Structure formats: C-alpha cells, structure tokens
Amino acid sequence: MTARAGGVLAHLARPGDIFALWGDLGAGKTTLARGFISALVPAEEAVPSPTFTLVQTYPAVIDGAAAEIWHFDLYRLKQAEEAYEVGIEEAFADGISLIEWPERLGSLLPRRRLDVTLAPGGSADSRRLLLSGQGDWGDRLGRVRAEILGE
C-alpha cells in the first residue's frame, strides 16, 4: 500500500513540487519514494536508497514534457546548508523533489510543499498516511484518497 500511495502521488506531481517525507526510521519513506519514482520512470531503472549519496536523480516525462525527479535522503546531513552542495536549489527550482528527513533542512525547507507523514498503523505491517499541503495542494489532494483506497 505504501508503494502504491507513492504511485498515486506521482501522477499528481508537477515540476517544482516538493514532497517532504516525514516518519521515523523504517516508517516506509523509501518505499513510498520508490513507488513514486517507479510510476514515472522506465521499469528497468533501479531505485536505490540515496542514504550514502544523499541524492539520486531520475529523468521522467510528465504530461509530455521532460522532468527530473530528485530523491534526497538527508539523514546524514550535519548542517542544513550542506544541502546546497547536492543541488537542492536546482531541484526546488524546476525539479520534483522527494525529501526524506526534511527536518534536517530547518528553515531552508520551503513552505510550498506537500507534507507526507508515515506513521505506524494498527498492525506491524500497516502504515497510516497523513497528507497536508499548501497552495494548490488542496485541490489536487481531493483525488488522492479515492485513488489510494480504490474508491
């Protein structure tokens, strides 16, 4: 379900979108990011966790136009400003950004974003997905629940 939720969110994405993926270690942030990326990138593309590289990029096509997905794992960031070294400004300008551990950015995390929070569900294998966004996300999120739940 977590990877599927990522795929649903991917189909709502537009260049310039920022997805802040919140949750504890093992909450499913990388699984959601893999589902998101796999929905927009050719199937043969591997989607490794960027834990040690801090960022992986993937070419995608959205509505017939080229786009780039930036998958950040900021767990190892010591200071927020280190994100500049891995291209966060470029990603925010015209890419689609998936950010694991967004709290490491502090005040550099833009307000215009979708917060995706993963929390433990009722059983060991289940997750709760909480979505909250600003700007036009209110309109776009109206479709998410039905698509994720298959309604």
CB-based contact 116:20 (threshold 8 Å): yes
End-to-end CA distance of the chain: 14
CB-based contact 48:56 (threshold 8 Å): yes
pLDDT surpassing 70 at residue 14: yes
Q: pLDDT band at residue 3, thresholds of 50, 70 and 90?
A: confident
Q: pLDDT band at residue 92, thresholds of 50, 70 and 90?
A: very high
CB-based contact 97:72 (threshold 8 Å): yes
- 129 phi, psi to nearest 5 deg: -115, 120
Lowest mean pLDDT across 47-51, 69-73, 138-142: 47-51
Domains of the chain in sequence order: 2-149 (3.40.50.300)
The 10s digit of each residue's pLDDT in 93-146 is: 989 999 999 999 999 999 999 999 998 777 777 788 888 987 778 778 877 766
Q: How far is CA 34 from CA 54, 78, 91, 101, 134, in A?
A: 15, 25, 18, 15, 24
Nearest to 136, CA basis, from 112, 116, 115: 112
